[in-house]
Structure 1
Amino acid sequence: MTQLTISIVSHNSKADLELLMPSLIKSLNNINHEILHVDNSSSDGTWDFMQQNYPGVLSYQNSRCFGYGTNHNHNLRRANGKYIVFMNSDMIIMPDTFEKLFVFMEENEDVGLCSANVLNTDGTMQYLYKRYPTILDLSLRRFAPGFITRMFRKRLDQYEMRDDAYHSVVDVPFISGCFMFCRTDLIRQVSGFDERFFLYFEDVDLCRKVQNHARTVSFPEAVVVHRWERMAHKKARWFYIFVLSAFKYFNKWGYQFY
């Protein structure tokens, strides 16, 4: 049986994949695995790069752009692994990351979804473990000027679970979709990602569905690097998608203001 399915979605991310793939292959040396890749209508040569350099990867090319969850659901339907990892293309994987996560999940059958600590390229922490979002927390993070966020620093630190989630295994309400290590059967049981979310909030929505059946936890012993870019702050289109997804999320799960 295939132990692990890696699900990667990319859009004009050839440069990211050039860095990701060598680290990914190296980290999978001791695990029976498959790699599934969706090229989300790229125009930068991503498809040719993957076909020429990684013919063993099962790649699929979209003729137009689909949402993040929709593309991962495509890979979920064809996955053979006991576990599936949903991940971004802008990652770098440490050599022992998957082996550590696999052993942890084998030893903790009550856990349905977990993640590694995620670092910036300079080694600093990305605080991606979070409690459930509230309208106040999202507003502070997205709209508030610096002096306001400093006034609410303690609250935002609590939202980002800076007290304990990055040092020990704890239950985490909201795990980032940039890197999720999951039980495949359970993700299928909850019907995967909700495809009404094009981008943003599909990850916390999935976590909440999983939590009806199993735990979602941090696993700080494993580490990955995320070469991220905060799109929602840079382009009006991504900001609009963020707000629209937030609206869909609160309509689905209820409005929590603070």
Structure 2
Amino acid sequence: MDVSIIIVNYNTKDLTKQTIQAVIETTNKAKYEIILVDNASRDGTVEAVQEEYPNIKVIVNTENLGFSKANNIGMRQSIGKYVLLLNSDTKVLCNCIDKCFAYMEQHKDICTLGPKINLENGDFDHACKRGFPTPASSFYYMLKFDKFFPGNKKYGRYKMNYLSVDEVNEVDSLTGAFMMVRKEVIDKIGDLDEEFFMYGEDLDWCYRIKEAGYKVMYYPEAKMIHYKGQSSKKKRTKTIYEFHRAMYLFYNKHYYKKYNLFITLFVYVGIGIKLPLSYIANIFKIKN
């Protein structure tokens, strides 16, 4: 088996079926298996997939375990040389998986690879090519320095927007919407950190991968569409909370010991202020 494709589903039946169908229609060279891990959906996804795609392995959780834990469950039952984390709200295009597999086979120094991702409206999804959220890069991003000084590496590190979206480049991190990772490296560095419920686990994994000395590569020759946020389109309180909790977890895990108390307090206060502001903004968004 070349690639084990892990898809975590939570109440996105139609999108999940579209994701699966796109894989089947566009993947012709790599030998693959699809493992669907369902997080206690109530929209009939499991029954629909089992009926229409009987060869797919379906794992049914009795509760919503989150993105990290569900992916880990799928990975532990995978048999592929590579593991591909693929969101249920995506659509791979033009032999995307075949191209990524072939590139990884040709470049043994690369641990994980991700394609160029566009959103449904055609905009580029910057999450597929980004830097780690250091206090400095986050500060510059918050103040829009990356827009005031386009192409500047120091100020554009958060999104790595000084790198062309159409060129192959080594980056800090990819998005968990599509990450092809060597199974042998996963065995060395470990699974996704289950402390992260639905955000931040991809950043954490890429950080650990690079710390172990492996490369993380952005590969725009392969392309995909991300129908972003469909599994959490109505911003629930838990969704907003988990997004900000992931910031806190990532900082504490990777940066806390590297920065002084003043920087740490600044980060904590920033997260603490942003959380209620996000709640308020979401209330107005719902009303409108």
Q: Is TM (by shorter chain) over 0.5?
A: yes
Residue 217 of structure 1 pairs with residue 217 of structure 2: yes
1:105-144 mapped onto 2 (5 Å cutoff): 105-128=104-127, 129-135=129-135, 138=138
Aligned-partner Cα distance in 2 for 1:139–1:130: 15
Partner in structure 2 of residue 61 of structure 1: 60
TM-score w.r.t. length of structure 2: 0.81
| Other structure's SS at 2:170 match | coil
Who wins on radius of gyration, i.e. which is larger?
Answer: 2
Tell which has more relative contact order, 1 or 2 (C-alpha 8 A, sep 6+). 1
Q: Tell me, yes or no, if the aligned pair for 2:120 and 2:227 is still in contact at 8 Å.
A: yes
Change in CA separation of 1:219 and 1:87 when aligned onto 2, cut-off 3 Å = same
Matched residue SS, 2:218: strand
* CA spacing shift, 1:139–1:11, aligned 2, 3 Å: farther
TM-score, structure 1 normalization = 0.89
The corresponding residue for 1:208 is 207
Look up the SS of the partner of 1:209 in the other structure. helix
Q: Deviations over 1:184-219 (max 9, x none)?
A: 111121111011111211111100111113101111
1:134 Cα deviation (Å)?
2.9
Change over 3 Å in CA distance of 1:39–1:140 after alignment to 2: farther
Structure 2: 5+ residue stretches without partners: 268-288
Aligned letter for 1:222? A
Give percent identity, aligned residues only: 26
1:232, CA displacement in angstroms?
9.2
Distance 1:135 1:239 in 2: 21
Q: 1:135: Cα distance to partner?
A: 4.2
Structure 1: segments with no counterpart, 5+ residues: none
Could you tell me how far 1:29 is from its partner in structure 2?
A: 2.3
For 1:139-177, what per-residue CA distance to the aligned partner results, in whole angstroms no more than 9, with x for missing partners?
787xx6xxx54x652477442112225222221112111
Cα deviations across residues 214-257 of structure 1 (Å, max 9, x unaligned)? 10111111101000028599332211111212111111101465
Q: Which amino acid aligns with 2:105?
A: E
User: Which has more helix, going by share of residues?
Assistant: 2
Change (3 A) 1:233 1:171: farther
Please identify runs of 4+ aligned residues in structure 1 that moved more than 6 A: none
Aligned equivalent of 1:8:
7
Change (3 A) 1:96 1:156: farther
| Residue 238 (structure 2) aligns with | 237
2: CA distance, partners of 1:53 / 1:5: 20
Mark the CA change 1:225 to 1:247 in structure 2 (over 3 Å): closer, same or farther.
same
- Asked if 2 retains the 8 angstrom alpha-carbon contact of 1:232 and 1:242, the reply is no
Deviation at 1:137, TM superposition (A): 5.2
Cα distance between partner residues in 2 of 1:53 and 1:241: 33
- CA RMSD, Structure 1 to Structure 2 (Å): 2.3
Which residue number corresponds to residue 92 of structure 2? 93
* Number of matched pairs: 251
The 2-side partners of 1:139 and 1:163 are apart by 17
Distance of 1:137 and 1:240 partners within structure 2: 22
Amino acid at match of 1:58: K
Give the letter for the 2:30 counterpart: I
